[in-house]
Homo-oligomer: A and B are copies of this chain.
Amino acid sequence: MDTFTPPKGMRDFYPEEYRAREALFSAWRATAAAFGFEMYDACVIESLELLERKAGEEISEQIYAFEDKSHNRLALRPELTPSLARMIIARQGGLTFPLKWSAVAQCFRYERMQRGRKREHYQWNLDIVGEESVMAEAEVIGAAVTALRRLGLSAQDFQVRVGSRALLSALLAQSGIAPEHYAACYLALDKRGKISDADVAALLRSEGLAEQAVQSVFTLIALTSIDQVAAHIADVHNPAATAALADLQTLFAHAEALGFLEFLSFDLAVIRGLGYYTGIVFEAFDTAGKFRAIFGGGRYDSLLSALGGQKMPCVGLGFGDVVVMELLADSNHAPQTSRQLDLAVGYMEAAAAPLALQIVAKMRAGGQSVDLALRPERAKKFFDRANKACATQAIYLGPDEVAKGEFTLKAMSGGTTRTATLDSL
């Protein structure tokens, strides 16, 4: 072997990197617990059939698929939602709904390598299954915002853009735009502000929209607040749009009561790539616009029935580890990753080992994290090592200490000392 790097696009986690990852995972798990979500997990290997049934075509091409020695068609999951749906359906008669489940799952996508894109990432998942009310969206988005706040970020650092597939469909229908032109309209909405209006219009015409339809799209593009949408539909009979708008209004009211309204903004252009969202959709971005989406999700009320289960309303969110770590580093909020060690114990001669081991056993039993020197060493070398390991306290046993059974407990920062014996520890 020439190199000892991990496979392309995969990551090793040396202890320092592991501690940073763990700081993120801890924020995720603690927030899930605070919001009353239960943790679950599924195997990183799934049946290819399940993934293909759920996934759009683009994702299928990115799946790591293989056959095992019994010719079962297996794959490394690109996301956790199909496994969640499978688990729910398997026990749909026995579980109590609505349920709130959370997971931190490694997911794989085969991508051509570019600009630091990885082929695996860890993704925090939050899903609420069996609830129609928009309180589900409020809890899921509220949890994701809370986790980012826990990591030190504020509304100056990121914003959650909230749209609604149901609202957008109802508005497009109201405008008389034919469904075969919806994809072009989504693209035009996405390009708003990024390219000139003339270019947006040209794009729509090239997709075959008539002049009146192009003007209708510009009317929709101009709707940049919930109030503007409300005014737009005030005088027409569009019950689907009215209901979808009411959900958005309720969501923003819930966000205010839960204390995260400042993080939300309405954006009709939020679509989400995946085909299976049916209602409110959302995506969080850094305010500076430097990175890809931090998290995203929405309501997907048709997935369980599409996979063969009973129809059941669902809201879900996926939150990857890569972008948030880039944003935390960029905004000087990278997690502190120094090692945690309560005590280091060293000794000058092998004869000290029994006393050292007894000290160590007692302190560990008391709940302390203790590193024991594995061999005799000089005091200077020991204290250098203890310092490097970020030990809070240190004990070094020379021949005198062993003979008397009395030794010094030294605070590594500040250097205060106290004398102790095995019994007095």
Chain B neighbourhood of A89, CB < 8 A? 4
What 1/0 mask marks residues of chain A from 70 to 89 whose CB sits below 8 Å from any chain B CB?
Answer: 10101010000001001101
Chain B neighbourhood of A139, CB < 8 A? 372, 374
A45 close to B120 (CB less than 8 A) = yes
Residue on B with the closest CB to A11? B43
Q: A6-B43, A18-B41, A146-B364 are in contact. Are A69 and B1 (CB under 8 A)?
A: no
Chain B neighbourhood of A91, CB < 8 A? 14
> CB within 8 Å of B: which residues of A?
1, 3-8, 10-15, 18-19, 21-22, 33-36, 38-47, 49-50, 53, 64-70, 72, 74, 76, 83, 86-87, 89-91, 96, 98, 100-101, 106, 108, 110, 120, 128, 131-133, 135-136, 138-139, 146, 253-254, 257-259, 307-309, 339-341, 344, 353-355, 357-358, 360-361, 364, 367-372, 374-375, 385, 388-389
Q: A44-B44, A308-B1 are in contact. Are A34 and B368 (CB under 8 A)?
A: yes
Of the residues B7, B90, B375, contact of A47 by C-beta under 8 Å: B7
Chain B neighbourhood of A370, CB < 8 A? 34-36
Of the residues B43, B90, B98, B374, contact of A128 by C-beta under 8 Å: B374
- Give Cα distance in the complex from A410 to B5, angstroms: 56
8 pairs from A and B in contact (CB 8 Å cutoff): A4-B89, A6-B42, A10-B45, A12-B90, A15-B40, A45-B120, A64-B66, A64-B74
- Give Cα distance in the complex from A72 to B66, angstroms: 13
B42 close to A12 (CB less than 8 A) = yes
Tell me, rounded to whole Å, the shortest Cβ–Cβ distance linking A352 to chain B. Answer: 11
Residue on B with the closest CB to A307? B1
- Give Cα distance in the complex from A1 to B385, angstroms: 58
Q: A13-B40, A371-B36 are in contact. Are A4 and B87 (CB under 8 A)?
A: yes
- Give Cα distance in the complex from A369 to B44, angstroms: 28
Chain B neighbourhood of A66, CB < 8 A? 64-67
A14 close to B35 (CB less than 8 A) = no
- Give Cα distance in the complex from A367 to B30, angstroms: 9
Q: Max chain B CB contacts within 10 Å: which of A340, A355, A368, A369?
A: A369
B38 close to A339 (CB less than 8 A) = yes
Tell me, rounded to whole Å, the shortest Cβ–Cβ distance linking A64 to chain B. Answer: 6
- Give Cα distance in the complex from A364 to B4, angstroms: 45
Chain B neighbourhood of A13, CB < 8 A? 40-42
Of the residues B21, B40, B253, B368, contact of A14 by C-beta under 8 Å: B40
Q: A74-B7, A388-B96 are in contact. Are A374 and B90 (CB under 8 A)?
A: no
A68 close to B64 (CB less than 8 A) = yes
B257 close to A369 (CB less than 8 A) = no
A68 close to B36 (CB less than 8 A) = no
Chain B neighbourhood of A53, CB < 8 A? 1
